[in-house]
Amino acid sequence: MDVSGQIKQLSWLESSQQWSLIWSEPRQQCEVYAFCGAFGSCDKKALPFCNCLTGFEPKSESDWNLSDFSKGCKRKTQLQCEDPTLAHGKSDKFLEMPNIKLPLHEQSMTVGNISECESTCLKNCSCNAYAYGSGGCKVWMGDVLDLKLLTEDSSNGGTIYIRLVASEFSSSSNKSGIIIGAVVGTVGVVLCLVVFAMLRWRRGTMRNPKAVEGREALRTEVSTIGTIQHVNVVRLRGFCSDGARKLLVYDYMPKGSLDAHLFHESNSDALDWKTRYQIALGTARGLVYLHKKCRDCIIHCDIKPVNILLDAEFCPKVADFGLAKLVRQDFSRVLTTMRGTRGYLAPEWILGMAITAKADVYSYGMMLLEIVSGRRNSQQSEDGKVRFIPTWAASLITEGGNVLSLLLLDPRLNGVAPVEEISRLRKVLLVYPRC
């Protein structure tokens, strides 16, 4: 069992002298007991998974921001059970939470109805929650652990009532307050409608919007790049998930994606060698950061020109982490059923074997070949046959040395490229298929 609370089975790989993850139980973090700590609820469909209950806040905001929820949550306002007068003459109340997997370590009470069950809990300052159903009255003393939110159609769900200070509940007993609130609310609605109309009038439209499909892809994208920052990794500014509508907001990249600059026939718009070389180096730096410098090794799994964005200065940014996999730095391999893009997949991935960060290196090598040559790694000739560019390039690289390797250059460059830089990239192209 490791620090995540999961039991994991590992296999020692003699070839790499490293451990490989084979199996883990439980598979989902919300299934780990008390994963969100005291007074925290776990929702496997939310981001982040853990949230403090209403009336509570994280005990350690810094740990919470690092996705360490083990310390749980604390009350924003202490209970007034010992002296109801401190809450303006009102005792503590209970917040109803339906569709909850009831926690363990409850105490059963013999009562006649739900009101008596509530009263029983209210009389004990140590009682923080109760539930009443077919199993009778159940109360929880001290910290309430292992709360899990379930779907509405789940048969395992129940309703739990969490104890809160009276001030957490709005009062409706003052008639004049209701009238004032109604007037203020009406005025507020009118103002909101006016503001909404103005915003609609002034609102622009995003250029070339791209739909982000699937809750899992959105969660992967946000959890992967939401907490990292590097000059060669695209920066996530925010996200929104509203039903089927899912949006990710990044820094605007005025030069678009790399493929738009590589695969066109115009000589005037072709990238010069210096720009291509800097794009190759910047992308490599971004991958090194993802693989080595983050707390968890991030395997992108879909490196290709369309996923390299360019800012106004043609600085490359690795983007689109929808297929990314997180691997702890002390592990080396991960099994995945996700599919990348044909032409960039490492051989071990095609064979269904566990992949490592080297899969990104292979994809990078294929992309590097496209950066140098200005050709897609596979092309269909006039006779209908598919020409695999890496096969042709391999003979030039291995047999011809630096001089013959110049034949790989995009014809639009007219052979203009420093020999020492060609030599450096040639070494990378020789190595990446063997990674």
Three-state DSSP class for residue 395: helix
Q: How many whole angstroms separate alpha carbon 317 and alpha carbon 300?
A: 13
Residues in the chain: 435
From 149, 168, 187, give the residue that closes a domain.
Answer: 168
Each residue's pLDDT tens digit, 299-313: 888 899 999 999 999
Cα–Cα distance for residue pair 395/371, rounded to 1 Å:
18
Do residue 267 and residue 139 come from a single domain? Answer: no
* Look-up of token digits 């006016």: 194
Res. 40 pLDDT band, cuts 50 70 90: very high
Same domain, 269 and 418: yes
Q: Considering 116, 142, 168, which residue would you say is the last residue of a domain?
A: 168
Q: Across the chain, what does the average pLDDT equal?
A: 77
- Give pLDDT, residue 203: 47
Report if residue 66 sits inside a domain.
Answer: yes
Q: What is the pTM for the complete model shown?
A: 0.49
pLDDT per residue over 268-306, tens digit each? Answer: 678 998 999 999 999 999 999 988 888 778 888 889 999
Q: Are residues 139 and 274 in the same domain?
A: no
Tell me, what's the pLDDT at 417?
82
Q: Are residues 285 and 151 in the same domain?
A: no
pLDDT tens-digit series, residues 161-186: 999 988 777 644 444 455 556 656 66
Is 71 within the bounds of a domain?
yes
pLDDT in tens, 388-397: 677 666 766 6
Residue among 287, 270, 279, 218 at smallest CA distance from 246:
218
119 vs 344, more confident: 119
**383-to-177, 386, 387, 388 alpha-carbon distances in Å:** 82, 9, 10, 14
**Residue 129 belongs to some domain of the structure:** yes
Please tell me the predicted confidence (pLDDT) of residue 382.
Answer: 59
Q: What is the pLDDT of residue 2?
A: 67
Query: What is the span of the domain harbouring residue 314?
Result: 256-434
Q: What is the pLDDT of residue 78?
A: 86
Q: Does residue 413 share a domain with residue 271?
A: yes
Kindly name the residue from 83, 153, 251, 302 that is annotated as catalytic: 302
Same domain, 279 and 405: yes
The verdict on 272 and 420 lying in the same domain is yes
Concerning whether 383 is annotated as a catalytic residue, the answer is: no
Which pLDDT does position 311 carry in this prediction?
A: 93
What whole-number percentage of the chain has pLDDT above 90? 22
Distance CA 132, CA 316 (A): 58
pLDDT at 387 over 50: yes
pLDDT the model gives residue 340: 62
According to the model, what pLDDT value does residue 113 have?
93
Encode pLDDT of 178-227 as tens digits.
555 665 666 666 666 666 666 554 444 444 444 444 566 666 667 666 76
Do 268 and 158 lie in a common domain? no
CA distance 374 to 417: 14
Mode of pairing for the β-strands spanning 136-141 and 56-58: unpaired
| pLDDT range class, residue 435, cuts 50, 70, 90 | low
Q: How far apart are CA 343 and CA 203, in angstroms?
A: 40
> Across 114-157, where does the E strand assignment appear?
127-133, 136-141, 147-149
Q: What pLDDT is stored for residue 326 in this prediction?
A: 66
Instruction: Pull the structure tokens for residue 139.
Output: 């109360």
Whether the pLDDT of residue 72 is over 50: the answer is yes
Q: Tens digits of per-residue pLDDT, 42-53?
A: 988 777 788 999
User: Which is more confidently placed, 171 or 113?
Assistant: 113
Banded pLDDT at 160 (limits 50, 70, 90) = very high
CATH number at residue 343: 1.10.510.10
Residue 329 pLDDT greater than 60, yes or no: no
Q: Check if the beta carbon of residue 212 is closer than 8 Å to that of residue 221.
A: yes
Average pLDDT over residues 52-74: 88
Residue 251: the pLDDT is 87
187 is a domain residue:
no
Domain membership of residue 232 (yes or no) is: no
137 & 272 share domain: no
For residues 69 and 104, is the Cβ–Cβ distance under 8 A? no
Residue 290 within any structural domain of the chain? yes
On the CB side of 258, how many CA atoms lie within 13 Å of its CA?
Answer: 29
pLDDT at 209: 43
295 and 411 co-located in one domain: yes
Which pLDDT does position 95 carry in this prediction? Answer: 92
Q: Which of 2-11, 115-124, 239-248, 351-360 has the lowest mean pLDDT?
A: 2-11
| Residue 378 pLDDT exceeds 60 | yes
Q: Please determine, for residue 386, whether its predicted confidence score (pLDDT) is greater than 80.
A: no
> Looking at the 3D structure of the chain, how many domains does it have?
2
Of 117, 150, 168, which marks where a domain is finished? 168
User: What would the mean pLDDT of 82-88 be, rounded to a whole number?
Assistant: 51
